[in-house]
Structure 1
Protein backbone atom coordinates (compact mmCIF):
# COMPACT_ATOMS: atom_id res chain seq x y z
CA UNK A 1 0.00 0.00 0.00
CA UNK A 2 2.80 2.39 0.95
CA UNK A 3 4.65 1.52 -2.25
CA UNK A 4 1.52 2.34 -4.27
CA UNK A 5 1.13 5.73 -2.56
CA UNK A 6 4.77 6.59 -3.19
CA UNK A 7 4.36 5.67 -6.86
CA UNK A 8 1.26 7.87 -7.10
CA UNK A 9 3.06 10.82 -5.50
CA UNK A 10 5.94 10.46 -7.95
CA UNK A 11 3.47 10.36 -10.85
CA UNK A 12 1.73 13.55 -9.62
CA UNK A 13 5.09 15.28 -9.26
CA UNK A 14 6.01 14.28 -12.81
CA UNK A 15 2.66 15.57 -14.11
CA UNK A 16 3.16 18.94 -12.43
CA UNK A 17 6.72 19.29 -13.76
CA UNK A 18 5.69 18.34 -17.29
CA UNK A 19 2.60 20.55 -17.32
CA UNK A 20 0.13 17.70 -17.73
CA UNK A 21 -2.12 19.16 -15.03
CA UNK A 22 -3.34 21.62 -17.67
CA UNK A 23 -4.86 18.67 -19.53
CA UNK A 24 -7.66 18.49 -16.98
CA UNK A 25 -10.99 19.50 -18.58
CA UNK A 26 -12.45 22.85 -17.56
CA UNK A 27 -15.93 21.32 -17.30
CA UNK A 28 -17.21 17.71 -17.25
CA UNK A 29 -18.54 17.53 -20.83
CA UNK A 30 -15.46 19.16 -22.40
CA UNK A 31 -14.30 17.41 -25.60
CA UNK A 32 -11.76 19.92 -26.95
CA UNK A 33 -8.11 20.08 -25.91
CA UNK A 34 -7.95 21.93 -22.54
CA UNK A 35 -4.55 23.39 -23.39
CA UNK A 36 -5.99 25.11 -26.46
CA UNK A 37 -8.86 26.53 -24.45
CA UNK A 38 -6.49 27.76 -21.73
CA UNK A 39 -4.35 29.49 -24.37
CA UNK A 40 -7.47 31.19 -25.71
CA UNK A 41 -8.52 32.28 -22.20
CA UNK A 42 -5.08 33.71 -21.45
CA UNK A 43 -5.13 35.65 -24.72
CA UNK A 44 -8.54 37.13 -23.93
CA UNK A 45 -7.51 38.21 -20.44
CA UNK A 46 -4.28 39.77 -21.76
CA UNK A 47 -6.32 41.84 -24.21
CA UNK A 48 -8.81 42.73 -21.46
CA UNK A 49 -6.02 43.84 -19.14
CA UNK A 50 -4.57 46.02 -21.93
CA UNK A 51 -7.99 47.62 -22.44
CA UNK A 52 -8.40 48.36 -18.74
CA UNK A 53 -4.91 49.86 -18.46
CA UNK A 54 -5.58 52.03 -21.52
CA UNK A 55 -8.89 53.12 -20.00
CA UNK A 56 -7.18 54.11 -16.73
CA UNK A 57 -4.52 56.06 -18.64
CA UNK A 58 -7.06 57.96 -20.78
CA UNK A 59 -9.33 58.63 -17.79
CA UNK A 60 -6.33 59.90 -15.78
CA UNK A 61 -5.46 62.36 -18.56
CA UNK A 62 -9.07 63.53 -18.89
CA UNK A 63 -9.43 64.11 -15.16
CA UNK A 64 -6.14 65.87 -14.45
CA UNK A 65 -5.77 67.94 -17.63
CA UNK A 66 -8.24 70.57 -16.43
CA UNK A 67 -8.92 72.30 -19.80
CA UNK A 68 -10.58 69.08 -21.07
CA UNK A 69 -13.43 68.85 -18.51
CA UNK A 70 -13.67 72.66 -18.48
CA UNK A 71 -14.35 72.65 -22.24
CA UNK A 72 -17.01 69.94 -22.06
CA UNK A 73 -18.88 71.38 -19.08
CA UNK A 74 -18.65 75.06 -19.93
CA UNK A 75 -21.99 76.73 -20.63
CA UNK A 76 -20.53 79.22 -23.14
CA UNK A 77 -19.61 76.68 -25.82
CA UNK A 78 -21.08 73.52 -27.40
CA UNK A 79 -18.90 71.26 -25.23
CA UNK A 80 -21.88 70.03 -23.20
CA UNK A 81 -23.58 68.82 -26.38
CA UNK A 82 -20.38 67.02 -27.40
CA UNK A 83 -20.32 65.40 -23.94
CA UNK A 84 -23.67 63.71 -24.61
CA UNK A 85 -22.66 62.79 -28.16
CA UNK A 86 -19.58 61.03 -26.75
CA UNK A 87 -21.85 58.43 -25.14
CA UNK A 88 -23.16 57.34 -28.55
CA UNK A 89 -19.71 57.09 -30.13
CA UNK A 90 -18.76 53.75 -28.46
CA UNK A 91 -22.08 52.28 -29.61
CA UNK A 92 -21.33 53.38 -33.16
CA UNK A 93 -17.82 51.90 -32.91
CA UNK A 94 -19.27 48.55 -31.83
CA UNK A 95 -20.87 48.01 -35.25
CA UNK A 96 -17.67 47.84 -37.36
CA UNK A 97 -15.87 46.11 -34.49
CA UNK A 98 -18.46 43.33 -34.44
CA UNK A 99 -18.35 42.99 -38.23
CA UNK A 100 -14.53 42.87 -38.45
CA UNK A 101 -13.65 41.33 -35.07
CA UNK A 102 -12.12 38.30 -36.82
CA UNK A 103 -10.15 40.25 -39.43
CA UNK A 104 -6.53 40.80 -38.37
CA UNK A 105 -5.01 43.41 -37.90
CA UNK A 106 -8.07 45.63 -38.45
CA UNK A 107 -9.76 44.11 -35.41
CA UNK A 108 -6.99 45.35 -33.09
CA UNK A 109 -7.16 48.86 -34.53
CA UNK A 110 -10.95 49.00 -34.12
CA UNK A 111 -10.64 47.60 -30.61
CA UNK A 112 -8.18 50.39 -29.74
CA UNK A 113 -10.56 53.05 -31.09
CA UNK A 114 -13.53 51.54 -29.25
CA UNK A 115 -11.59 51.42 -25.97
CA UNK A 116 -10.50 55.05 -26.28
CA UNK A 117 -14.00 56.26 -27.19
CA UNK A 118 -15.40 54.55 -24.09
CA UNK A 119 -12.52 55.53 -21.82
CA UNK A 120 -12.92 59.24 -22.63
CA UNK A 121 -16.51 59.67 -21.35
CA UNK A 122 -15.70 57.35 -18.44
CA UNK A 123 -12.95 59.76 -17.42
CA UNK A 124 -15.33 62.71 -17.73
CA UNK A 125 -17.85 60.94 -15.48
CA UNK A 126 -15.14 60.23 -12.91
CA UNK A 127 -14.44 63.97 -12.89
CA UNK A 128 -17.79 64.49 -11.15
CA UNK A 129 -16.67 62.46 -8.14
CA UNK A 130 -13.98 62.81 -5.51
CA UNK A 131 -10.80 60.79 -5.82
CA UNK A 132 -11.83 58.76 -2.75
CA UNK A 133 -15.10 57.58 -4.32
CA UNK A 134 -13.39 56.73 -7.62
CA UNK A 135 -10.71 54.72 -5.80
CA UNK A 136 -13.31 52.88 -3.70
CA UNK A 137 -15.29 52.00 -6.82
CA UNK A 138 -12.12 50.81 -8.56
CA UNK A 139 -11.19 48.56 -5.61
CA UNK A 140 -14.71 47.15 -5.31
CA UNK A 141 -14.87 46.49 -9.06
CA UNK A 142 -11.54 44.66 -8.99
CA UNK A 143 -12.58 42.50 -6.03
CA UNK A 144 -15.95 41.63 -7.56
CA UNK A 145 -14.59 40.85 -11.03
CA UNK A 146 -11.83 38.61 -9.68
CA UNK A 147 -14.18 36.87 -7.24
CA UNK A 148 -16.92 36.24 -9.82
CA UNK A 149 -14.37 35.01 -12.36
CA UNK A 150 -12.88 32.51 -9.91
CA UNK A 151 -16.36 31.40 -8.87
CA UNK A 152 -17.43 30.82 -12.49
CA UNK A 153 -14.33 28.71 -13.22
CA UNK A 154 -14.97 26.73 -10.01
CA UNK A 155 -18.66 26.23 -10.85
CA UNK A 156 -17.93 25.23 -14.46
CA UNK A 157 -15.50 22.54 -13.31
CA UNK A 158 -18.30 21.08 -11.19
CA UNK A 159 -20.74 20.95 -14.07
CA UNK A 160 -22.75 24.15 -13.50
CA UNK A 161 -23.94 26.02 -16.58
CA UNK A 162 -25.03 29.68 -16.66
CA UNK A 163 -26.42 29.88 -20.18
CA UNK A 164 -29.94 30.08 -18.73
CA UNK A 165 -29.15 33.58 -17.39
CA UNK A 166 -29.31 35.30 -20.78
CA UNK A 167 -33.12 35.91 -21.00
CA UNK A 168 -33.22 37.25 -17.44
CA UNK A 169 -30.18 39.47 -17.94
CA UNK A 170 -31.54 40.83 -21.23
CA UNK A 171 -34.89 41.68 -19.63
CA UNK A 172 -33.20 43.28 -16.62
CA UNK A 173 -30.92 45.32 -18.91
CA UNK A 174 -33.94 46.68 -20.83
CA UNK A 175 -35.57 47.69 -17.53
CA UNK A 176 -32.33 49.41 -16.48
CA UNK A 177 -32.15 51.35 -19.77
CA UNK A 178 -35.77 52.53 -19.47
CA UNK A 179 -35.18 53.43 -15.82
CA UNK A 180 -32.16 55.50 -16.86
CA UNK A 181 -34.15 57.34 -19.54
CA UNK A 182 -36.85 58.15 -16.99
CA UNK A 183 -34.15 59.51 -14.68
CA UNK A 184 -32.92 61.84 -17.43
CA UNK A 185 -36.40 63.23 -18.22
CA UNK A 186 -37.89 63.11 -14.71
CA UNK A 187 -35.17 62.96 -12.02
CA UNK A 188 -36.49 61.01 -9.04
CA UNK A 189 -33.91 62.03 -6.44
CA UNK A 190 -30.81 60.55 -4.86
CA UNK A 191 -32.53 57.39 -3.58
CA UNK A 192 -33.61 56.46 -7.09
CA UNK A 193 -30.01 56.97 -8.28
CA UNK A 194 -28.84 54.65 -5.52
CA UNK A 195 -31.43 52.04 -6.52
CA UNK A 196 -30.40 52.45 -10.17
CA UNK A 197 -26.75 51.88 -9.24
CA UNK A 198 -27.64 48.85 -7.12
CA UNK A 199 -29.70 47.25 -9.88
CA UNK A 200 -26.94 47.95 -12.39
CA UNK A 201 -24.32 46.36 -10.13
CA UNK A 202 -26.38 43.18 -9.74
CA UNK A 203 -27.14 42.96 -13.47
CA UNK A 204 -23.54 43.43 -14.59
CA UNK A 205 -22.30 40.95 -11.98
CA UNK A 206 -24.65 38.50 -13.68
CA UNK A 207 -23.19 39.45 -17.07
CA UNK A 208 -19.66 38.83 -15.80
CA UNK A 209 -20.66 35.30 -14.76
CA UNK A 210 -22.51 34.70 -18.05
CA UNK A 211 -19.71 36.00 -20.30
CA UNK A 212 -17.02 34.17 -18.32
CA UNK A 213 -19.03 30.96 -18.73
CA UNK A 214 -19.17 31.63 -22.47
CA UNK A 215 -15.41 32.24 -22.45
CA UNK A 216 -14.88 28.81 -20.90
CA UNK A 217 -17.35 26.87 -23.08
CA UNK A 218 -18.77 28.65 -26.10
CA UNK A 219 -16.60 31.34 -27.65
CA UNK A 220 -14.66 30.03 -30.63
CA UNK A 221 -10.92 30.60 -30.89
CA UNK A 222 -11.46 33.34 -33.49
CA UNK A 223 -13.75 35.29 -31.13
CA UNK A 224 -10.99 36.50 -28.79
CA UNK A 225 -11.67 40.17 -29.62
CA UNK A 226 -15.40 39.92 -29.04
CA UNK A 227 -14.90 37.93 -25.84
CA UNK A 228 -12.62 40.64 -24.45
CA UNK A 229 -15.11 43.35 -25.51
CA UNK A 230 -17.93 41.56 -23.65
CA UNK A 231 -15.94 41.31 -20.41
CA UNK A 232 -14.63 44.85 -20.82
CA UNK A 233 -18.15 46.28 -21.12
CA UNK A 234 -19.27 44.27 -18.08
CA UNK A 235 -16.36 45.62 -16.02
CA UNK A 236 -16.80 49.28 -17.05
CA UNK A 237 -20.56 49.20 -16.47
CA UNK A 238 -20.08 47.58 -13.06
CA UNK A 239 -17.59 50.33 -12.15
CA UNK A 240 -20.01 53.09 -13.23
CA UNK A 241 -22.88 51.44 -11.32
CA UNK A 242 -20.78 51.34 -8.15
CA UNK A 243 -19.98 55.04 -8.62
CA UNK A 244 -23.71 55.72 -8.61
CA UNK A 245 -24.11 53.89 -5.31
CA UNK A 246 -21.15 55.46 -3.53
CA UNK A 247 -21.93 59.05 -4.49
Structure 2
Protein backbone atom coordinates (compact mmCIF):
# COMPACT_ATOMS: atom_id res chain seq x y z
CA UNK A 1 0.00 0.00 0.00
CA UNK A 2 1.31 3.45 -0.95
CA UNK A 3 1.35 6.16 1.69
CA UNK A 4 0.38 9.67 0.60
CA UNK A 5 2.57 11.37 3.22
CA UNK A 6 6.09 9.88 3.51
CA UNK A 7 7.74 10.07 6.90
CA UNK A 8 10.76 12.36 7.05
CA UNK A 9 13.65 11.79 9.42
CA UNK A 10 13.75 15.45 10.36
CA UNK A 11 10.24 15.26 11.81
CA UNK A 12 11.52 13.62 15.01
CA UNK A 13 14.20 16.15 15.86
CA UNK A 14 11.95 17.75 18.47
CA UNK A 15 11.70 14.45 20.33
CA UNK A 16 7.90 14.59 20.70
CA UNK A 17 6.32 11.12 20.93
CA UNK A 18 3.65 12.10 18.42
CA UNK A 19 6.32 12.70 15.73
CA UNK A 20 8.22 9.48 16.39
CA UNK A 21 7.48 6.54 14.08
CA UNK A 22 4.95 4.08 15.47
CA UNK A 23 6.96 1.14 14.13
CA UNK A 24 10.34 0.57 12.45
CA UNK A 25 10.55 1.45 8.74
CA UNK A 26 7.46 3.68 8.98
CA UNK A 27 7.22 5.77 5.78
CA UNK A 28 4.20 8.00 6.48
CA UNK A 29 3.95 11.08 8.67
CA UNK A 30 3.38 9.85 12.27
CA UNK A 31 1.18 12.86 13.06
CA UNK A 32 -1.25 11.90 10.31
CA UNK A 33 -1.40 8.30 11.53
CA UNK A 34 -1.94 9.44 15.12
CA UNK A 35 -4.78 11.66 13.93
CA UNK A 36 -6.30 8.68 12.13
CA UNK A 37 -5.96 6.52 15.25
CA UNK A 38 -7.64 9.16 17.43
CA UNK A 39 -10.50 9.36 14.94
CA UNK A 40 -11.05 5.60 15.07
CA UNK A 41 -11.11 5.46 18.86
CA UNK A 42 -13.48 8.44 18.95
CA UNK A 43 -15.92 6.62 16.65
CA UNK A 44 -15.63 3.40 18.68
CA UNK A 45 -16.26 5.35 21.90
CA UNK A 46 -19.46 6.82 20.44
CA UNK A 47 -20.54 3.35 19.31
CA UNK A 48 -19.98 1.94 22.78
CA UNK A 49 -21.87 4.84 24.36
CA UNK A 50 -24.81 4.25 22.01
CA UNK A 51 -24.68 0.54 22.84
CA UNK A 52 -24.80 1.25 26.58
CA UNK A 53 -27.76 3.64 26.17
CA UNK A 54 -29.81 1.30 23.96
CA UNK A 55 -29.00 -1.80 26.03
CA UNK A 56 -29.87 0.02 29.26
CA UNK A 57 -33.27 1.02 27.86
CA UNK A 58 -33.98 -2.57 26.83
CA UNK A 59 -32.99 -3.88 30.26
CA UNK A 60 -34.87 -1.20 32.21
CA UNK A 61 -38.18 -1.21 30.29
CA UNK A 62 -40.06 -4.38 31.30
CA UNK A 63 -42.68 -4.28 28.47
CA UNK A 64 -39.89 -4.75 25.94
CA UNK A 65 -38.77 -7.96 27.64
CA UNK A 66 -42.37 -9.17 27.98
CA UNK A 67 -42.99 -8.54 24.28
CA UNK A 68 -40.02 -10.62 23.19
CA UNK A 69 -40.69 -13.46 25.62
CA UNK A 70 -44.47 -13.90 25.41
CA UNK A 71 -45.40 -13.10 21.79
CA UNK A 72 -44.72 -14.71 18.44
CA UNK A 73 -44.17 -11.29 16.93
CA UNK A 74 -41.47 -10.71 19.54
CA UNK A 75 -39.71 -13.89 18.48
CA UNK A 76 -39.81 -12.83 14.83
CA UNK A 77 -38.45 -9.38 15.68
CA UNK A 78 -35.73 -10.94 17.81
CA UNK A 79 -34.59 -13.13 14.91
CA UNK A 80 -34.61 -10.09 12.62
CA UNK A 81 -32.53 -8.14 15.12
CA UNK A 82 -29.95 -10.92 15.23
CA UNK A 83 -29.52 -10.88 11.45
CA UNK A 84 -30.01 -7.12 10.98
CA UNK A 85 -26.36 -6.18 11.71
CA UNK A 86 -25.17 -8.77 9.18
CA UNK A 87 -27.58 -7.40 6.59
CA UNK A 88 -26.54 -3.79 7.24
CA UNK A 89 -22.87 -4.72 6.89
CA UNK A 90 -23.39 -5.41 3.18
CA UNK A 91 -24.31 -1.83 2.18
CA UNK A 92 -21.92 -0.53 4.85
CA UNK A 93 -19.05 -2.32 3.12
CA UNK A 94 -20.05 -0.75 -0.18
CA UNK A 95 -20.57 2.77 1.21
CA UNK A 96 -17.94 2.81 3.97
CA UNK A 97 -15.96 5.48 2.09
CA UNK A 98 -18.94 7.63 1.15
CA UNK A 99 -19.99 10.39 3.51
CA UNK A 100 -22.65 10.72 5.00
CA UNK A 101 -24.01 7.27 4.12
CA UNK A 102 -21.18 5.56 5.94
CA UNK A 103 -22.12 7.27 9.22
CA UNK A 104 -25.85 6.64 8.74
CA UNK A 105 -25.32 2.94 8.07
CA UNK A 106 -22.83 2.72 10.94
CA UNK A 107 -25.44 4.19 13.30
CA UNK A 108 -28.06 1.66 12.12
CA UNK A 109 -25.56 -1.19 12.46
CA UNK A 110 -24.61 -0.12 15.98
CA UNK A 111 -28.19 0.45 17.14
CA UNK A 112 -29.46 -2.95 15.91
CA UNK A 113 -26.51 -4.77 17.45
CA UNK A 114 -26.95 -2.80 20.67
CA UNK A 115 -30.60 -3.85 20.85
CA UNK A 116 -29.61 -7.51 20.49
CA UNK A 117 -26.96 -7.07 23.19
CA UNK A 118 -29.57 -5.42 25.41
CA UNK A 119 -31.92 -8.39 25.02
CA UNK A 120 -29.11 -10.72 26.05
CA UNK A 121 -28.35 -8.57 29.09
CA UNK A 122 -32.07 -8.36 29.98
CA UNK A 123 -32.04 -12.04 30.97
CA UNK A 124 -28.68 -11.91 32.74
CA UNK A 125 -27.99 -10.91 36.34
CA UNK A 126 -26.51 -7.49 37.01
CA UNK A 127 -23.53 -9.08 38.74
CA UNK A 128 -22.60 -11.06 35.61
CA UNK A 129 -23.02 -8.01 33.37
CA UNK A 130 -20.82 -5.86 35.63
CA UNK A 131 -18.11 -8.52 35.91
CA UNK A 132 -18.09 -9.00 32.13
CA UNK A 133 -17.98 -5.26 31.43
CA UNK A 134 -15.11 -4.62 33.85
CA UNK A 135 -13.03 -7.53 32.56
CA UNK A 136 -13.71 -6.53 28.93
CA UNK A 137 -12.52 -2.98 29.60
CA UNK A 138 -9.37 -4.17 31.40
CA UNK A 139 -8.49 -6.73 28.72
CA UNK A 140 -9.11 -4.32 25.84
CA UNK A 141 -7.02 -1.54 27.35
CA UNK A 142 -4.22 -3.94 28.30
CA UNK A 143 -4.05 -5.58 24.88
CA UNK A 144 -4.22 -2.20 23.12
CA UNK A 145 -1.31 -0.82 25.14
CA UNK A 146 0.65 -4.05 24.66
CA UNK A 147 0.11 -3.97 20.89
CA UNK A 148 1.29 -0.36 20.57
CA UNK A 149 4.33 -1.21 22.70
CA UNK A 150 5.15 -4.38 20.73
CA UNK A 151 4.65 -2.73 17.33
CA UNK A 152 6.97 0.13 18.34
CA UNK A 153 9.64 -2.53 18.92
CA UNK A 154 9.20 -4.18 15.54
CA UNK A 155 6.67 -6.93 16.33
CA UNK A 156 4.24 -7.72 13.52
CA UNK A 157 0.92 -9.50 14.19
CA UNK A 158 -0.29 -9.91 10.62
CA UNK A 159 0.46 -13.64 10.84
CA UNK A 160 -2.49 -14.04 13.23
CA UNK A 161 -5.04 -13.42 10.46
CA UNK A 162 -5.33 -16.97 9.00
CA UNK A 163 -5.25 -18.64 12.42
CA UNK A 164 -7.96 -16.34 13.82
CA UNK A 165 -10.15 -16.86 10.75
CA UNK A 166 -9.88 -20.64 11.08
CA UNK A 167 -10.62 -20.47 14.81
CA UNK A 168 -13.64 -18.27 14.11
CA UNK A 169 -15.05 -20.82 11.65
CA UNK A 170 -14.70 -23.57 14.26
CA UNK A 171 -16.39 -21.31 16.82
CA UNK A 172 -19.34 -20.59 14.52
CA UNK A 173 -19.87 -24.26 13.64
CA UNK A 174 -19.63 -25.25 17.31
CA UNK A 175 -22.18 -22.56 18.15
CA UNK A 176 -24.67 -23.97 15.63
CA UNK A 177 -24.10 -27.47 17.04
CA UNK A 178 -25.01 -26.18 20.50
CA UNK A 179 -28.27 -24.74 19.14
CA UNK A 180 -29.46 -28.12 17.88
CA UNK A 181 -27.71 -30.27 20.48
CA UNK A 182 -27.55 -28.25 23.73
CA UNK A 183 -24.59 -29.08 25.92
CA UNK A 184 -23.98 -28.75 29.63
CA UNK A 185 -22.65 -25.90 31.73
CA UNK A 186 -19.04 -27.03 31.39
CA UNK A 187 -19.27 -26.99 27.60
CA UNK A 188 -20.76 -23.49 27.67
CA UNK A 189 -17.91 -22.28 29.87
CA UNK A 190 -15.30 -23.86 27.59
CA UNK A 191 -17.00 -22.30 24.56
CA UNK A 192 -16.98 -18.89 26.22
CA UNK A 193 -13.32 -19.17 27.26
CA UNK A 194 -12.20 -20.22 23.78
CA UNK A 195 -14.25 -17.41 22.23
CA UNK A 196 -12.68 -14.94 24.66
CA UNK A 197 -9.18 -16.00 23.63
CA UNK A 198 -10.07 -15.71 19.94
CA UNK A 199 -11.40 -12.18 20.32
CA UNK A 200 -8.38 -11.21 22.41
CA UNK A 201 -6.34 -12.27 19.39
CA UNK A 202 -8.57 -10.19 17.13
CA UNK A 203 -8.06 -7.11 19.31
CA UNK A 204 -4.29 -7.44 18.84
CA UNK A 205 -4.63 -8.20 15.12
CA UNK A 206 -7.03 -5.32 14.37
CA UNK A 207 -5.01 -2.86 16.46
CA UNK A 208 -1.92 -3.86 14.50
CA UNK A 209 -3.83 -3.22 11.26
CA UNK A 210 -5.02 0.12 12.64
CA UNK A 211 -1.43 1.20 13.23
CA UNK A 212 0.04 -0.06 9.96
CA UNK A 213 -2.38 -1.07 7.24
CA UNK A 214 -5.70 0.76 7.17
CA UNK A 215 -5.74 3.67 4.72
CA UNK A 216 -7.08 7.02 5.87
CA UNK A 217 -10.46 6.60 4.14
CA UNK A 218 -11.10 3.22 5.80
CA UNK A 219 -11.91 4.72 9.21
CA UNK A 220 -15.44 3.28 9.27
CA UNK A 221 -14.30 -0.27 8.58
CA UNK A 222 -11.49 -0.01 11.14
CA UNK A 223 -13.97 1.23 13.76
CA UNK A 224 -16.39 -1.61 12.98
CA UNK A 225 -13.61 -4.19 13.42
CA UNK A 226 -12.57 -2.88 16.85
CA UNK A 227 -16.17 -2.40 17.98
CA UNK A 228 -17.06 -6.00 17.07
CA UNK A 229 -13.97 -7.26 18.90
CA UNK A 230 -15.09 -5.49 22.09
CA UNK A 231 -18.75 -6.56 21.87
CA UNK A 232 -17.91 -10.18 21.08
CA UNK A 233 -15.37 -10.33 23.90
CA UNK A 234 -18.00 -8.95 26.29
CA UNK A 235 -20.61 -11.52 25.18
CA UNK A 236 -18.09 -14.38 25.40
CA UNK A 237 -17.09 -13.39 28.94
CA UNK A 238 -20.74 -13.04 29.88
CA UNK A 239 -21.29 -16.64 28.77
CA UNK A 240 -18.46 -17.74 31.05
CA UNK A 241 -19.66 -15.81 34.10
CA UNK A 242 -23.28 -16.78 33.51
CA UNK A 243 -22.41 -20.48 33.34
CA UNK A 244 -20.26 -20.20 36.44
CA UNK A 245 -23.01 -18.30 38.29
CA UNK A 246 -25.75 -20.83 37.49
Confirm or deny a common fold (TM above 0.5): yes
CA distance in 1, matches of 2:74, 2:35: 44
Q: Does 1:153 align with 2:170?
A: no
Q: By how many angstroms is 1:60 displaced?
A: 0.2
Q: Secondary structure at the match of 1:27?
A: coil
> Hey, what does 2:84 align to over in structure 1?
89
Q: Secondary structure at the match of 2:26?
A: coil
Give the ranges of 4+ consecutive aligned residues of structure 1 lying more than 3 Å apart after TM superposition.
Answer: none
2:28 aligned partner: 32
Shift of 1:155: 0.4
Q: Which stretches in structure 1 are left out of the alignment for 5+ residues?
A: 1-13
Pairing 1:88-107 to 2, within 5 Å after superposition: 88-107=83-102
Within 2, Cα distance between the matches of 1:50 and 1:214?
21
Contact 1:15/1:21 (<8 A) preserved: no
Normalization by structure 1: what TM-score?
Answer: 0.91
Provide the C-alpha distance between the structure 2 equivalents of 1:84 and 1:193, rounded to a whole number of angstroms: 21
Q: Quote the Cα distance in structure 1 between the aligned partners of 2:186 and 2:69.
A: 25
> Which 5+ residue runs of structure 2 have no aligned equivalent?
1-12
SS in 1 for 2:148: helix
Query: 2:185 and 2:142 mapped to 1: Cα distance?
Result: 29
- Report deviation, 1:86: 1.3
Residues 48-197 of structure 1 mapped to structure 2, 5 A cutoff: 48-74=44-70, 76-197=71-192
What is residue 43 of structure 1 aligned with on the other side? 39
Checking the alignment, whether the CA contact within 8 Å between 1:201 and 1:241 is kept in structure 2 is: yes
TM-score (norm: length of structure 2): 0.92
What is the CA distance between 1:150 and its match in structure 2? 0.3
- Give the RMSD, CA atoms, in angstroms: 1.1
**What CA distance in whole angstroms lies between the structure 2 residues aligned with 1:21 and 1:88?**
43
Aligned length: 230
Aligned to 1:11: none
Cα separation, 1, equivalents of 2:72 and 2:23: 56
Q: How far apart, CA to CA, are the structure 1 residues paired with 2:76 and 2:98? A: 34
SS of the aligned residue for 2:217 comes to helix
Structure of higher CA gyration radius? 1
TM-superposition CA deviations, 1:57-79 (whole Å, max 9, x none): 000000001111110111x4321
Distance 2:119 2:200 in 1: 24
